[in-house]
Amino acid sequence: MISRFSNVNRAYVNTVGISSVFNIGDSMQITPSIKVLAIQREQEIYYDEEGKFSQFPIFEEEIPQPVFYEQLTTNFFNKNPKINVDSISVTSISSSAILQIGSTKDIVCESRTKHIRQSKN
């Protein structure tokens, strides 16, 4: 992993929510993960047996991972191994997202959302 020095003068992030990461600097591994089930109705009604992730295949399916067939060799030379950021402004980071100023060896993010809207017909 490339190791660098991160220098940030100003950072404004209004909201960091739901399994998200705001990171200044290097890290070895970041793995934010979230499962969301949102049921929207015209009236606020909750049924005892609803809301189980196992009822919906989207939450149980295996996520396919890329298969790399080729050997990859890299060489890096950082004449000036610094990351300089004067100012950054972000409205929102959400649902298993990452805002990073730096390096990370491994990142694995997962976000699964099932949104159901029920209305009277």
Q: Contact at 8 Å (CB) between 51 and 39?
A: yes
Residue 2 has pLDDT above 90, yes or no: no
Q: Is the pLDDT of residue 113 over 80?
A: yes
83/15 Cα distance (integer angstroms):
23
CA–CA separation, 74 and 72 (whole Å): 7
List, for residues 5-43, the tens digit of each pLDDT value: 899 999 999 999 989 999 999 999 999 999 999 888 888
What is the rounded distance in angstroms from the CA atom of residue 22 to the CA atom of residue 18? 12
- Residue range 53-102, pLDDT digits in tens: 888 999 999 988 889 899 888 887 777 788 899 999 999 999 999 999 99
DSSP state letter for 37: E
Query: Would you say residue 1 has pLDDT above 70?
Result: no
Q: Is the pTM of this model over 0.85?
A: no
Other residues' Cβ atoms within 10 Å of the Cβ of residue 35: 15
Residue 38 DSSP class? E
